[in-house]
Structure 1
């Protein structure tokens, strides 16, 4: 048997507090709503109010849903407008012109896309940069301001962006510049020299140092972006000490103070570097070329004091070539010691001699190991006139395939003030002979366009590549640079190659083209003209068919304009019509019957019935079209320029 007892009022049963399942959602919703801009908060609140007021039953509620649909449609039309569409088009166009084209160009040049080494190879990656020639007053002397300033800004931006893309996408182990770092570097005065041209004598040494800081900002400051790509335990290096004729002058035009300043900041111009088990020989050929020119002081082939002509200019590079075996042997032996993890030391020849004879400790001369040699010169080597440069030359493609002479496709054998297109035959032969043995390749600059030839007239028939300019202001539509992959496995003990490869098979080259900046500007210009045309047509159509003040043009009308009594008069309802016109107490009147008509103000000051009006063409005035056009242009320009400056500021 069971019993039930009434529960005492004093007995309290514990029940946990029930948590409101909507509390967290409400708090989160309120926080998100408060974080929005004030105008957007107002629109969201109005949308919520309209939605809550809806009832799912009844004829009146069906009309409310229609009003909501119309209101949402107005919002949709307010967002997807012609001006916003133009902004979106500009958004993607600027992304393409300022980002995507550079990314696409560098992706085509990825090392794995063109290298052909054995699977176990560990090549050394090199990028050759030629003729950046920072734009300065010497480049376009007659160009007025602000066009001259904009030219400097845009060329610097292109160089910085290109070099930064090279580092971030390719990360070469070594970057070698091939001269003409500046355009007017030879003209800017030092403490002991000035420009031979009067118009440039006002530019002092401080101006050259300012240009040097520009070079550092464009290239050196972006150098560390490629550290993540390189796996070379020896680290990475950038060498920019090879001068061009725009850096120093050419031949007898070279001034020693200008050359000394250049070498003080960039290093020795005549040097030997072992890179990727290849010996790179850099020679200041713009100074060496003074050997073949008459002395400017005497006008003859002699200086008049018993010294060879122009000896003060060409002696340094000539002495370097005459002692090439010493320079090469020292650099190659030092490289082998580094490969063996040995510290630098001095080797002596120890001999047993009679006690009566003097003991002389003679340091051994370093011997050339025999790495493949590569010659670097700013000015290309001599070649026969009309010798074709190949199909990769941009300005003058070959007229036909397989021809031995093609004057348009070849380098011009000519010279002028402070320049010479190729070296003389005598100096070229001297370079090839003394830079060896095992000279397999030559890299040069100066011409701004690509040229590839094989010098059968010289011993060993070395191949020469003239590298394109990196700047889009040097007469080529598609600037570029050269990638070189080096692989020469050697025995650290002897320096001999561990794999037998033919001459020239230890390196591979690939021309990498950069975006056509002029084409990008042309596309910007076409889109700019199209934008103005569309906005002008839009202003005319809106002014003609959609007069200002139309309630349908606003998303949320804030007030309803009613006509004054003197324009639309209404009769005072009589007692006989009160029951039909006004609701009786407790009764409901139909909105369709009793709602007063809505009016908008027209241009002539009268009021039109919105519900019954039809769209009629208006007669626009130039002021209204101009005002609407200016407002739309200002809106598009503000957004577009903000996005553009963000792109160029971030990169």
Structure 2
């Protein structure tokens, strides 16, 4: 390094060192003193507030009532609502029955930037925290109070899962669908694809898991005569994959890698549950099928439906063998043999048509087709049925699911897909669907085997339905070793009950009402503090000494005859001045003059007392009392609410 550069470096080093020394000196000196003074003031204020008079005061009583209200609204209310839905309160099985308890959850649809891209991030964060907590509290209450044997989801786990770019595979909107996006989505789609990829999707998946995957939080022991507790969350919805011709293979592969296969068969409670990926199935009947090759989307569903009845019979046989002690475990010797000569008799095989087949429950995210205006029944909340028909005699469409379609959604499946589903699955006694967010119950036409379908309410508070809920399903089907009903078995083996969760709008209205009540009662108290000589909550300001503020003024001596004569005749006018302006000069005979702070007097020189009964009223005291008490109640309630939100 040249000498000039070295000298410059030394100057910089010395400057920095000097600056650090000054900073250290300041920290050790004035800074430490200021910190010590601040700590002393804080401790002194805490000491003043920890007196029995203040701790047992009215504002703290009101804050305690707020804590009770918040515990009710953020904790207890969920358990209270779920308790009403206890299985024994609505089940009607024969005495001694041991039903299988199944719960169906639809459209949790956890919120993300796709929900409303124009929201500021702070607003979105608050809404996400509140809605996630609602789902978590409701779900925990469900598990602890109802302890279901099985739980199945009906799709739409995430809000924008289909929009988040995949790491592998071709992720691009099909040309025939990109133009059908809404104007808002068209403005944001490039931003989504640039900023939200596979990592963000995994974070959303983890968020979903933090809410729902703790399945054994209420214990893992199954109910009597149940094989175990089953949790299934693999059925996709249109917000997870897209719909029909718009489904992207890479998005579906990612979803199935983490949530599981969308097409599957399960046996629970001597019933078969068949889940079908209806959003992919719809690609086979879309308008784009004749123009583009969509077989990669709908072909896996068709293959599943072609073999689903065989799968059902094999699983029913396996279940009966378990209950009646037939050992079906594949016990082979550990050696390699030619497949053509291998003994495969111990593998599960289709017993063929006519074998035992349990009553089947069909799960599909999108409801089956029904004619426009088909009523959904009295339990539909959003648009309850009208008591009178329309004046023109038309159908009451306010109580039905709209038969419409749009970008990435279709409210009901096509008639062709609906019939194919019911006929391919076979022996369907009930269909359960989601997507609509509100409850709908109907019996379909003979073309669909007059099957009964229930569209399950969303469990989320943010999907346009004031009162969310979930569906409870009780299954009881006592059978013999051949799968035939036992004597005395009920004809209907499925019973359902809609369980409603807290209405958040009602809860927040209660909060608002209690806020107004709190302000009114605090204002009334603040008014009567100076009037009725009540003990004020606001601490009086502290002074440095115990005396009233004083000051001395040097006054001129009064005009006396002696002083006039000593100064010669006629000098009295000089001392008195014009209009006696020098008459207040200081004199030892008068002593120092004491002047009390004018704040303690009013214009008539009367005391401005503010706490004496019947004395002068003070607006200043009332305002100070109102502000102090309202602020104390507010920060206690808000901090407690934040604690409840953050600690679930």
| Offset at residue 369 of structure 1 (A) | 1.6
1:425 pairs with one of 395, 415, 418: 415
Instruction: Give the whole-Å Cα distance in 1 for the aligned partners of 2:612 and 2:500.
Output: 62
Alignment partner, residue 294 of structure 1 = 287
| Offset at residue 390 of structure 1 (A) | 0.2
Please state if 1:643 is matched with 2:646: no
Alignment partner, residue 179 of structure 2 = none
Moved more, 233-242 or 438-447: 233-242
Instruction: Give the whole-Å Cα distance in 2 for the aligned partners of 1:564 and 1:287.
Output: 85
C-alpha deviations, 1:22-41, integer Å up to 9, x for none?
xxxxxxxxxxxxxxxx9799
Alignment partner, residue 275 of structure 1 = 268
1:13-92 pair list within 5 angstroms: 81-92=57-68
Does the C-alpha gap of structure 1 residues 370 and 551 become closer, same or farther in structure 2, counting only changes over 3 Å? closer
Does the C-alpha gap of structure 1 residues 194 and 617 become closer, same or farther in structure 2, counting only changes over 3 Å? farther
Instruction: Give the whole-Å Cα distance in 2 for the aligned partners of 1:468 and 1:374.
Output: 18
Instruction: Give the whole-Å Cα distance in 2 for the aligned partners of 1:253 and 1:524.
Output: 44
Please state if 1:617 is matched with 2:610: no
Please state if 1:407 is matched with 2:397: yes
C-alpha deviations, 1:133-161, integer Å up to 9, x for none?
00111112222232111110000000000
Please state if 1:151 is matched with 2:138: no
Instruction: Give the whole-Å Cα distance in 1 for the aligned partners of 2:50 and 2:70.
Output: 33
2:305 pairs with one of 311, 318, 321: 321
| Offset at residue 543 of structure 1 (A) | 6.1
Does the C-alpha gap of structure 1 residues 193 and 648 become closer, same or farther in structure 2, counting only changes over 3 Å? same
TM-score, structure 1 normalization: 0.73
| Offset at residue 365 of structure 1 (A) | 3.0
Moved more, 414-423 or 188-197: 188-197
Please state if 1:604 is matched with 2:600: yes
Instruction: Give the whole-Å Cα distance in 2 for the aligned partners of 1:426 and 1:381.
Output: 10
Please state if 1:112 is matched with 2:88: yes
Please state if 1:138 is matched with 2:114: yes
| Offset at residue 94 of structure 1 (A) | 1.2
Tell me, yes or no, if the aligned pair for 2:418 and 2:448 is still in contact at 8 Å: no
| Offset at residue 625 of structure 1 (A) | 5.4
SS at structure 1 position matched to 2:398: coil
Alignment partner, residue 586 of structure 1 = none
Instruction: Give the whole-Å Cα distance in 1 for the aligned partners of 2:163 and 2:277.
Output: 18
TM-score, structure 2 normalization: 0.73
| Offset at residue 387 of structure 1 (A) | 0.8
Instruction: Give the whole-Å Cα distance in 1 for the aligned partners of 2:198 and 2:55.
Output: 57
1:235 pairs with one of 222, 225, 228: 228
SS at structure 1 position matched to 2:214: helix
Tell me, yes or no, if the aligned pair for 2:458 and 2:468 is still in contact at 8 Å: yes
Does the C-alpha gap of structure 1 residues 120 and 601 become closer, same or farther in structure 2, counting only changes over 3 Å? farther
Tell me, yes or no, if the aligned pair for 2:538 and 2:624 is still in contact at 8 Å: no
1:261 pairs with one of 254, 263, 287: 254
| Offset at residue 539 of structure 1 (A) | 4.2
Tell me, yes or no, if the aligned pair for 1:287 and 1:313 is still in contact at 8 Å: yes
Does the C-alpha gap of structure 1 residues 636 and 200 become closer, same or farther in structure 2, counting only changes over 3 Å? same
Does the C-alpha gap of structure 1 residues 384 and 87 become closer, same or farther in structure 2, counting only changes over 3 Å? same
Does the C-alpha gap of structure 1 residues 601 and 408 become closer, same or farther in structure 2, counting only changes over 3 Å? same
| Offset at residue 428 of structure 1 (A) | 0.4
1:494 pairs with one of 475, 479, 482: 482
Moved more, 273-282 or 363-372: 363-372
Instruction: Give the whole-Å Cα distance in 2 for the aligned partners of 1:500 and 1:288.
Output: 40
Does the C-alpha gap of structure 1 residues 501 and 322 become closer, same or farther in structure 2, counting only changes over 3 Å? same
Alignment partner, residue 513 of structure 1 = 500
| Offset at residue 523 of structure 1 (A) | 1.8
SS at structure 1 position matched to 2:399: coil
Tell me, yes or no, if the aligned pair for 1:125 and 1:486 is still in contact at 8 Å: yes
Cα RMSD between the aligned structures? 3.7
Alignment partner, residue 570 of structure 1 = none
1:444-593 pair list within 5 angstroms: 444-491=433-480, 493-499=481-487, 501=489, 505-539=492-526, 541-542=528-529
Tell me, yes or no, if the aligned pair for 1:485 and 1:508 is still in contact at 8 Å: yes
Alignment partner, residue 72 of structure 1 = none
Tell me, yes or no, if the aligned pair for 2:276 and 2:364 is still in contact at 8 Å: yes
Which stretches in structure 2 are left out of the alignment for 5+ residues?
1-45, 174-188, 333-339, 553-595
C-alpha deviations, 1:47-97, integer Å up to 9, x for none?
xxxxxxxxxxxxxxxxxxxxxxxxxxxx5xx66644134213312221221
Does the C-alpha gap of structure 1 residues 498 and 229 become closer, same or farther in structure 2, counting only changes over 3 Å? closer
Return the structure number with greater helix share: 2
Tell me, yes or no, if the aligned pair for 1:186 and 1:195 is still in contact at 8 Å: no
Tell me, yes or no, if the aligned pair for 2:538 and 2:629 is still in contact at 8 Å: no
| Offset at residue 383 of structure 1 (A) | 0.9
| Offset at residue 237 of structure 1 (A) | 1.0
C-alpha deviations, 1:151-203, integer Å up to 9, x for none?
10000000000000000000000000000001101101102244633242121
Instruction: Give the whole-Å Cα distance in 2 for the aligned partners of 1:107 and 1:479.
Output: 16
Does the C-alpha gap of structure 1 residues 345 and 235 become closer, same or farther in structure 2, counting only changes over 3 Å? closer
1:392 pairs with one of 360, 368, 379: 379
Tell me, yes or no, if the aligned pair for 1:188 and 1:201 is still in contact at 8 Å: yes
C-alpha deviations, 1:260-319, integer Å up to 9, x for none?
111111111101100100011110000000011133xxxx6154xxxxx41110000010
Tell me, yes or no, if the aligned pair for 2:98 and 2:225 is still in contact at 8 Å: no
1:147-296 pair list within 5 angstroms: 147-191=123-167, 192-194=169-171, 196=173, 197-202=189-194, 203-221=196-214, 223-227=216-220, 230-231=223-224, 233-295=226-288
SS at structure 1 position matched to 2:600: coil
SS at structure 1 position matched to 2:118: coil
C-alpha deviations, 1:574-625, integer Å up to 9, x for none?
xxxxxxxxxxxxxxxxxxxxxxxxxx99942689699x9653224434xx65
Does the C-alpha gap of structure 1 residues 506 and 91 become closer, same or farther in structure 2, counting only changes over 3 Å? same
| Offset at residue 433 of structure 1 (A) | 0.3
| Offset at residue 234 of structure 1 (A) | 1.9
Does the C-alpha gap of structure 1 residues 124 and 408 become closer, same or farther in structure 2, counting only changes over 3 Å? same
| Offset at residue 253 of structure 1 (A) | 0.6
Count the aligned residue pairs: 525
Alignment partner, residue 335 of structure 1 = 319
Tell me, yes or no, if the aligned pair for 2:367 and 2:455 is still in contact at 8 Å: yes
Instruction: Give the whole-Å Cα distance in 2 for the aligned partners of 1:453 and 1:609.
Output: 77
Moved more, 249-258 or 359-368: 359-368
